[in-house]
Amino acid sequence: MRTITFDIDRFDGNRAWTQSYSFEYAPGLTVLASLFLIKEKQDATLNFTASCRSAICGACAIRVNGNSLLPCDTRLDDALDQWKSDKLHLSPIGNFPVVSDLMVDWSDKIERLRRAKPGLHARKEFTAETGCRQSPAELALIINQWDCILCGCCASECNKLSDDSKDFLEPFVFTHASRYAHDSRSADGMLHVKDMLSNGLWKCLHCMECVSKCPKGIKPAGDIAAMRAMAVAHGNTDGPGPRHAAAFRTDLENTGRLNEVKLVPRTEGMVQAATERMGFTLRMLERGKMSVTEVTELYLTDNKPIEGIEGLRKIIRSEGTPK
């Protein structure tokens, strides 16, 4: 008999422990069906949430070996094959307070979701009589984001959120803001982006955990990038985030290559670069990362333009570049 073991993180409100459950392997089980098997046959006190069992309600998200997924949409065979083991460690999704065992508390997350102002504030020309018509091309811009089922998988391993959630929001909040900001029926996309700017829009680390973990193929990191572009287009160009991105864009057009020496003053301003980064600069010079001559030359002049720079400039300046 092939035996499968789930080591499950338990929590009863006071005490936390890990409990092992073993059961006989059966082909065709999902991870969620395995959990129901354990609850029905072995331990009725094991708590987890689940509803639709078809990956459309988002209630059952958990972590398997530290990685979030929907157990209703994950075949046990696939999980065992992924980890090349008949023993799996199940725990609640990360970056959420735990209520009991695999159940997490969403109440604070819903409050944070309100910062995206999730709801359509339609353009004035739309009325109850005419409705809010949208072309297929306009719908295509946001249709993927509408698949969000608020399962929380994108937030579970987000490296920024794990470090500090005070100055950053859950990736699904950014996705919700973006889907209204980029909705052709919205009166003012910036209505949804404004509060994202003050809640860490430029603090995303680009770790790509959210894109990797979303069971619906949504790309919250892409939504963050799209809202950054919208914010900059609306004149929100101040701050280290937008200035850093602008420095790369400037170099791309000027010479085709990054000017590392100008990057810091362009991002932080000359005063901060010359004072707070002095230790860093001296360290770089001392260890031979860059020479004084090289630094001076790069600061006073620039990189030599790449071969074909005129062509590159034409390409990236081109009005023909699709918007």
Partner 1 sequence: MTRKFAFFPGCVLDSAAREARMATEAVAARLGIELVEIPGWSCCGASHVQDIDPNAALAANARNLALAEQLGLDVLTACSTCALMLRTARQELLNGRKNDINKVLAQAGLEYKGTAEVSHILWLLADTAAEWGPQVKNPLRKVRVASFYGCHTVRPPQVMTHESHLDPHSMETVITACGAEPVLIPDRLKCCGFHAVFPAEPTAHRLTASAADDAKKGGADCLLTPCPLCQLQLDMYQPDARKTEGKGGDTPVLHLTQLVGLALGIDREKLGLSRHIVSTESLLAKC
Site for partner 1 in 79-108 (CB under 8 A): 82-83
Residue 77, H or E segment: helix 76-83
Taking contact as CB under 8 A, which single stretch among the options 22-30, 96-104, 177-185, 219-227 is the one that binds partner 1? 219-227
User: How many angstroms from the chain centroid is the CA of residue 147?
Assistant: 15
Candidates 10-18, 55-63, 185-193, 226-234 — which segment interacts with partner 1 by CB under 8 A?
A: 226-234
Interatomic CA distance for residues 130 and 114, integer angstroms: 28
Residue 268 makes contact with partner 1 by CB under 8 A: yes
What DSSP designation does 303 have? P
- The answer to whether residues 157 and 67 touch, using CB atoms and an 8 Å cutoff, is yes
Interacting stretch for partner 1, rule CB under 8 A, among 39-47, 52-60, 141-149, 209-217?
209-217
Separation of alpha carbons 26 and 4, rounded Å: 9
One character per residue 148-167, x = contact with partner 1 (rule: CB under 8 A): -----------xx--xx--x
Place of tokens 């069992």: 53
For 142-146, the CB contacts below 8 A with 24+ separation are 142/178, 142/179, 142/182, 142/183, 144/216, 144/217, 144/218, 144/219, 145/175, 145/176, 145/178, 145/179, 145/218, 145/223, 146/179
65 binds partner 1 (CB under 8 A): yes
316 binds partner 1 (CB under 8 A): yes
The alpha carbons of the chain give a radius of gyration, in whole angstroms, of 25
Rounded to a whole number of angstroms, the minimum distance from the CB of residue 102 to partner 1 is 19
Kindly tell me which residue out of 67, 95, 145, 199 binds partner 1, with binding defined by CB under 8 A.
Answer: 67
Contact 56, 83 (CB under 8 A): no
* By CB under 8 A, residue 228 contacts partner 1: yes
Q: Is the distance from CB of 30 to CB of 122 less than 8 angstroms?
A: no
Q: How far is the CB of 124 from partner 1 (least distance, A)?
A: 29
Verify binding: residue 26, partner 1, rule CB under 8 A: no
Which of residues 260, 265, 285, 302 is near partner 1 by CB under 8 A?
A: 260
CB of 94 to partner 1, least distance (A): 13
Give yes or no for residue 122 binding partner 1 (CB under 8 A).
no
Q: Which residues contact partner 1 (rule: CB under 8 A)?
A: 65, 67, 82-83, 159-160, 163-164, 167-168, 200, 202-209, 211-212, 217, 219, 225-226, 228-229, 232, 239-242, 244-246, 248-249, 251-253, 256-258, 260, 267-268, 279-280, 283-284, 287-290, 306-312, 314-316, 318, 320-323
